Structure 1
Amino acid sequence: MGKQLEGPEFIGVGVQRGGTSWLYECLKEHPQTYIPTKEVHFFDEKYDLGSDWYRQLFTQPDAELVPGEYTPDYIASKVTIERIYKFNPNVKLILILREPLSRAHSAYKLYQSYGRFKDLDFNAAVEKDPWIIKQSLYSEQIGHLFSLFPKSNVHIDFYEKIEENPRQFFKDVCEFIGIDGEYDPDALYSVRNTSINATLQDGFGLIKLQNFLLRKGFSRQINWMKNMKLFGFMKRALIQRSKQKSSEIKVDPKVVAMIEQDVEKLEKILSLSLSNWKANY
């Protein structure tokens, strides 16, 4: 019989469309972690089930494993973050930030793949559902997070780093939660470029096929194919095509101004320059 713990020692809290699925897969593979399921949604959608229900999810045969969960929607709700703090003020939090407009457009494309906003361009979709942009306004979200949790308990990194150096990105996360940072999971170099997933999903059905094969235990074969030069060429071509299309989108100047102001506030909160983001505005 497994030993029931007091809950997770780390929680991934965001952001949506920021590479969180990739990080979840990497962490779940790690032999020193225990992650019961993807996107538990306890603190936002299932809170009425009670803390005992949540704790029992982390019952495991090996008490030496570090338990955690990842639900990227948590950061977008003040109430949710407050609930996490009430549950465990010492828990470690992981947050991946992505350039705001890119994240918002990726969310819009994902919603389209689910059948929403099919007949609306990006600006019309934002006007109909401002939440698309609001989730990208990080300064208030992180400001609230830091009002409750000490900065030492929060690991913040950037989606762009996953694209540039996934090995270092994952190592930093591992060291933050106290596990071996030298471990290389199979998913490490299977970086999902979230900006093109919806396009691939609609046009080729490749994501569904990949996920099916992963469930059937063909992860190593998939990684072998992804290391082929032809696959790399095709992926780069698709990414470039997606970026070109994104750059052609005419975003409402009011939305751009809102993003710019929020990024400037975020720079002050994080005490770092986000000039690479601001170059897009």
Structure 2
Amino acid sequence: MRLPDIIGVGPPRTGSTWLYNALRDSVDMPAGVKDTHFFEHFDHKGIEWYANHFRHGTGDRKIVEICPGVFFRPQARERIKQHIPDCKIVATMRDPVDRMYSVYKLQRHYGGVGSGTLEQVIEASPNLGGANRYAAQLESWFDSFGRENVLVTIYDELRAEPQAYLNRVCDFMGIARVTLSPRADLGSDINSFARAPKNRRLARRATAVIDWLNSHQAYRVRTALARAGVWEFCQSRGELYPRLTPEQDERLRERYLPEVEALEKLLAIDLSAWKKPRAASQRDLADESRTPRVALG
């Protein structure tokens, strides 16, 4: 029974799909899917169910899973420690305002939250997206797996220098470096959401079907329905998401300032760029739709 050597724990909306695409030809990953959701949702199915996802692994390559949903879940962290005590961990920190706006759009996409501005949703659900409590959660990952076994990267590095970012990850994993093409597209729309669902109830039902398919490892069916446009029909077609105004940006940065300062102290790095309010034009450049496209050389 083979299990992952390395797990990318997120948190969500920090380039996890980009990393998955960059690594998938160089390591062994779950069969048919990026994220099994075992540690946060399907642990009741048993470790054999999870291990079945890696049945094609031969032992010649590292086994890796990218499952960003576990970062803010203590129980998921404990389950990883229980089943894979020597696992290495990769985490990526992102500007908290940018990440929270992306989480907000993702949750609306799935029907998890209703209409309303980001600030209104946060007031109603203050723990949305883990509330960006990076430092406290990272300390728990350090305690569980040892600081030397947890690689902490910054999303800004991925945006500015994708190759250098990927080199760090590969070196930490102990695999040969993957070379990106110099033609890598820095303006692609990897997992971005332009529109809200037209009908929240329909979006929630689609999400329930996706969860059911995942629980039965029916990944080919899920992919076929995606290509047919079923999920897009159910979880999009509504209003365009408005951009955050400079005033909203400033208020949110003030809200998350203590979290940023705690992370600075923990990692001994300068995150002053995350503290400064941004103009609308700068925000456009930071949107998740600007995650670099993976192009391998």
Shorter-chain TM band: 0.7 to 0.9
- Structure 2 residue aligned with 1:264: 261
- Structure 2 residue aligned with 1:276: 273
Q: State how many pairs are aligned.
A: 240
One-letter amino acid matched to 2:107: Y
Residue 9 in structure 1 maps to residue 5 in structure 2 = yes
SS at match of 2:192: helix
Residue 181 in structure 1 maps to residue 169 in structure 2 = no
One-letter amino acid matched to 1:277: W
SS at match of 1:245: coil
Q: CA deviation at 1:52?
A: 2.2
Task: Give 5+ residue unaligned stretches, structure 2.
Answer: 198-222, 229-240, 279-297
Contact 2:29 / 2:64 at 8 angstroms: preserved in 1? yes
Residue 140 in structure 1 maps to residue 171 in structure 2 = no
Hey, what's the Cα distance between the residues in 1 that align with 2:267 and 2:83?
Answer: 25
- Structure 2 residue aligned with 1:45: 41
Q: Once superposed, what is the RMSD of the aligned Cα atoms?
A: 3.2
Q: Residue 65 of structure 2 is aligned with which of 69, 73, 82? A: 69
Contact 1:75 / 1:81 at 8 angstroms: preserved in 2? yes
Q: CA deviation at 1:257?
A: 4.0
Q: CA deviation at 1:33?
A: 3.4
One-letter amino acid matched to 2:167: K
One-letter amino acid matched to 1:245: R
One-letter amino acid matched to 1:119: S
Q: CA deviation at 1:12?
A: 0.8
One-letter amino acid matched to 1:168: A
- Structure 1 residue aligned with 2:202: none
Contact 2:8 / 2:90 at 8 angstroms: preserved in 1? yes
CA shift in 2, pair 1:10/1:188, >3 Å: farther
For residues 79-228 of structure 1, what are the structure 2 equivalents within 5 Å? 79-115=75-111, 117=113, 119-132=115-128, 134-184=130-180, 189=185, 192=188, 197-199=192-194
One-letter amino acid matched to 2:246: E
Deviations 1:184-203 (A, max 9, x none): 38996466566x9212788x
Residue 33 in structure 1 maps to residue 31 in structure 2 = no
Hey, what's the Cα distance between the residues in 2 that align with 1:77 and 1:201?
Answer: 26
Contact 1:28 / 1:35 at 8 angstroms: preserved in 2? no
Q: Residue 248 of structure 1 is aligned with which of 230, 246, 249? A: 246
SS at match of 1:184: coil
Hey, what's the Cα distance between the residues in 1 that align with 2:65 and 2:183?
Answer: 17
SS at match of 2:64: strand
The percentage of aligned residue pairs carrying the same residue is: 26
One-letter amino acid matched to 1:141: Q
- Structure 2 residue aligned with 1:235: none
CA shift in 2, pair 1:142/1:132, >3 Å: same
CA shift in 2, pair 1:14/1:82, >3 Å: same
Deviations 1:85-137 (A, max 9, x none): 12122111111111111100111122333455553111111112223253412
Hey, what's the Cα distance between the residues in 2 that align with 1:175 and 1:247?
Answer: 40
- Structure 2 residue aligned with 1:22: 18
Q: CA deviation at 1:156?
A: 1.1
CA shift in 2, pair 1:154/1:12, >3 Å: same
CA shift in 2, pair 1:49/1:280, >3 Å: same
CA shift in 2, pair 1:61/1:87, >3 Å: closer
TM-score by length of 2: 0.70
- Structure 2 residue aligned with 1:54: 50
Deviations 1:192-220 (A, max 9, x none): 566x9212788xxxxxxxx99x989xxxx
Task: Give 5+ residue unaligned stretches, structure 1.
Answer: 203-210, 217-241
SS at match of 1:43: helix
Contact 1:12 / 1:94 at 8 angstroms: preserved in 2? yes
Q: CA deviation at 1:163?
A: 1.3
Hey, what's the Cα distance between the residues in 2 that align with 1:109 and 1:49?
Answer: 30
Hey, what's the Cα distance between the residues in 1 that align with 2:178 and 2:69?
Answer: 29
